[in-house]
Copies of this chain bind each other. A is one copy, B any other.
Amino acid sequence: MKKLEDLQELISQSVDKLTFPVHPAELYEPISYILSIGGKRMRPALLLMACDLFGGNIDDALSPALAIEVFHNFTLMHDDIMDNAATRRGLPTVHVQFGTNAAILSGDVLIALAQESLSKMGSSFASRMIAEFANGFRMVCEGQALDKEYETRENISVAEYLAMIDLKTAKVLELAGVLGALSGTGEYLEEIRSLAHHLGLAFQIGDDLLDLTATHAELGKTIGGDILEGKRTFLFVTAMETYDQLTETDRALLDRIRNRAANPDDVGTARLLFDRIGVLSSAQRAKKDQTVLAKNALGAIPAGVARDRLDAFSDYLLERAG
């Protein structure tokens, strides 16, 4: 039974141990670059914990854990191109640093590396894990496609927004939980999937909230970045559902956000508006609802130290968000 920090350390070691050919440099340098930027390795940590739940051997889960981390970095690399993002974790994104072609191709190779890692596992559920991975992979791409589609759509309902983050954010966590369970005994698979699903939704809603409620130090990036970029977040789509009841001034603010024309002064005003019309509390409630559903799923799993660790992991993940 391992603690979160131990698992994160295990994964970091596995990532560090990945060695790549020197040549073609254009292909492997961007991969070393993005993997070295780090991150908290939460997805593979969840995978290892799910394996650990019923006494599965964590060593058996390291290959799929590495696969999920490498896959996650693929999504970052390709999404950053599509989102035209200039920085990630304070550093230039791969396509800015190495060029778009390199970012496309290195992202492709990350998928191949994830598959290579996955193919090294010895689980009796191997073929099912491959199928889950392929399906999860496709769902994540569907989520990204919806996210891009929403950027140019006039109105998105809260339900549509939730369907998008379910695909784009929650599916990778679900996949991590499922691959972890299948690396172990495969017991309580659907409960683990449900836990990861609701955790993913709670996490993303919390992440949307943080954009306006965190301090700069907590967030590590500009407060109100989502407002300035006109991102379709839980806060924005919830606010838009009240559009017809708002004053001219409030509507003008929402229009500026929607048209990516908001200015830094709008950030404070948006926060006040979102507070006044109940958007912030609505997001807090939605996050809490998803947290309760996650904990319910967890509650269906037999009690024990491993479950307690997963409980602590959930709290840690959600603390970071909102």
Is the pair B130, A101 in contact by a Cβ cutoff of 8 Å?
A: no
**Bitwise interface map of A from 140 to 165 toward B, beta carbon under 8 Å scored 1, else 0:** 01101110110000000000000000
Residue of B with least CB distance to A146 = B24
Is the pair B27, A142 in contact by a Cβ cutoff of 8 Å?
A: yes
Residue of B with least CB distance to A26 = B145
Segment of A8-16, A131-139, A267-275, A288-296 in the binding face: A131-139
Interface size range of chain A in the complex: 35 or more
Is the pair A108, B78 in contact by a Cβ cutoff of 8 Å?
A: yes
Partner of A127, one of B107, B113, B126: B126
Is the pair A109, B138 in contact by a Cβ cutoff of 8 Å?
A: yes
The answer to whether A182 has its CB under 8 Å from any CB of chain B is no
The answer to whether A73 has its CB under 8 Å from any CB of chain B is no
Say whether chain A's binding surface is mostly helix, strand, loop, or mixed.
helix
Listed from nearest, the 9 A-B pairs whose CB atoms lie closest are A115-B134, A24-B145, A112-B138, A27-B145, A119-B131, A112-B137, A116-B134, A119-B130, A82-B101
A selection of 29 A-B contacts at a CB cut-off of 8 Å is A24-B149, A26-B145, A26-B148, A27-B141, A27-B142, A78-B104, A78-B108, A82-B104, A82-B105, A101-B148, A105-B141, A107-B108, A108-B137, A108-B141, A111-B111, A111-B137, A112-B134, A112-B141, A113-B134, A115-B115, A115-B133, A115-B137, A116-B134, A116-B138, A119-B130, A119-B131, A126-B126, A126-B127, A127-B127
User: B-contacting residues of A (Cβ < 8 Å)?
Assistant: 21, 24, 26-27, 78, 81-82, 101, 104-105, 107-109, 111-113, 115-116, 118-120, 126-127, 130-131, 133-135, 137-138, 141-142, 144-146, 148-149
